[in-house]
Chains A and B, each alone.
Chain A
Amino acid sequence: MIVLAKIALGMAWVGIASVGVLCSEGLVNVKVAEKQPHGVHFHVIAPAMLAPIAVRVAPRSALAEAERKIQPHLPEIQAALDSLRDIDDVVLVEVRGPDEHVEVQKEGGSIIVDVNDADDVVHVSVPIRAVASTINQIAAAGADSL
């Protein structure tokens, strides 16, 4: 009985540690709600670490187009992400109209985009570290395939 309890405790610790490692780069939060009747509503919260891992295991051919588009702008993207990490929390862009509200902000290590218009409500929150890792993985995928 005690042995079983120890095994269960061990497994619980492994589970907690795994969740901790998975969430170490923060969480990606995507929420989309269409305003029309019977519109699509979905809400996904996933560990941000999965994005670079997914890029790593994805077929190289599938990443070729993304790599081709990213590669010329890689220095700008990396400079932007580096400086975004360093700055204080700030609303970078806010657009308000009669039937729309768009906001892009940096908050606590994440980039948050909120859109609320006549058709949809969209909320996307992505940790900056995860964006940087994913971009680097995509760029590296192109370099590996050469």
Chain B
Amino acid sequence: MREATRKRVRIAAACCMLAAGMVIGAGSAMAAGAEKYLHVNVQDPEKSESVNVNVPISMAVKILPAIHNNNLHDGKVTIHNTEMNGVDVRTLLEAVRTAPDNEFVTVKDKDSDVRVAKANGNIVIHVIDKKDKQQTVDVTVPMKVVDALVANAKSDELDIAGALQVLSDAGDVLLVTVHDSSEKVRIWVDSKNTQD
């Protein structure tokens, strides 16, 4: 009788472990399968115009490597030296990546305020252009994305597809906001397929 009870208990325990395994497996599969969307929203209240773009990142990651056009090949964009006025973008990004949290650039004059910093695992760029309709630009890029831009690319390339892939794993993030007296632009990543 005891042996039979023990056997039942063992079977029940095995079933519980199997069920727990299935729940954990399903949970991780659902987490891995959560689609991320790159959203672009442009609002111009003066003209009563708006543009909304919602791109599944998985779609962009699949399409980008298929595009071979001008400077874009295999999901990587080639940066020619002349385009950057002699600035080595890769070396610059590498230097920022390895540097501790810090303010790298702070410029304040009558026409503009510029701030470039590394904080909380992000590169943060803040620009106020006082001349042009008091335009404000804020850019936040997770360092993981910066890493991915240069990790698998040649010295004159940036890996856009790789960066997008990392962006999709990085969680919800507000990447760019631009405000001026008439227009508002927002670019962000989240797991909603709408902009509501």
Q: Please list the residues of chain A having a beta carbon within 8 angstroms of any beta carbon in chain B.
A: 75-76, 78-80, 82-84, 86-98
Contact = CB atoms under 8 A, between A and B. Distances in A.
Contacts of B56: 83, 87-88, 90
A80 B63 contact: yes
Contacts of B50: 94-96
A31 B80 CA distance: 47
A81 B50 CA distance: 27
B51 A94 contact: yes
A122 B155 CA distance: 48
Given A79-B65, A95-B51, A98-B47, 6 more contacts: A76-B67, A79-B62, A80-B59, A84-B59, A88-B35, A90-B194
Nearest to A90: B193
A59 B99 CA distance: 64
Interface string B56-69: 10110011011110
A90 B54 contact: yes
14 contacts: A76-B67, A80-B63, A83-B63, A87-B58, A87-B59, A89-B193, A91-B54, A92-B54, A93-B51, A94-B52, A95-B52, A96-B48, A98-B48, A98-B49
B18 to A, nearest CB: 30
Given A96-B49, A98-B47, A98-B48, A87 B35 contact: yes
Contacts of A86: 58-59
Contact of B63 (A79, A90, A91, A98): A79
| Interface majority SS (helix, strand, loop, mixed), chain B | mixed
Contacts of B63: 76, 79-80, 83
B22 interface: no
A90 B193 CA distance: 6
A90 B37 contact: yes
A78 B47 contact: no
A93 B52 contact: yes
The 7 A-B residue pairs whose C-beta atoms are closest, nearest first, are A79-B66, A83-B59, A83-B62, A75-B66, A94-B52, A90-B193, A87-B56
A97 B193 contact: no
Contacts of A78: 66
Nearest to B37: A90
B193 A82 contact: no
Nearest to B68: A75
B69 to A, nearest CB: 8
B190 to A, nearest CB: 13
Interface in B164-196: 193-194
B67 to A, nearest CB: 5
A16 B52 CA distance: 43
B158 to A, nearest CB: 20
A93 B66 CA distance: 21
Nearest to B53: A93
A98 B193 CA distance: 25
A84 B35 CA distance: 13
A88 B65 CA distance: 21
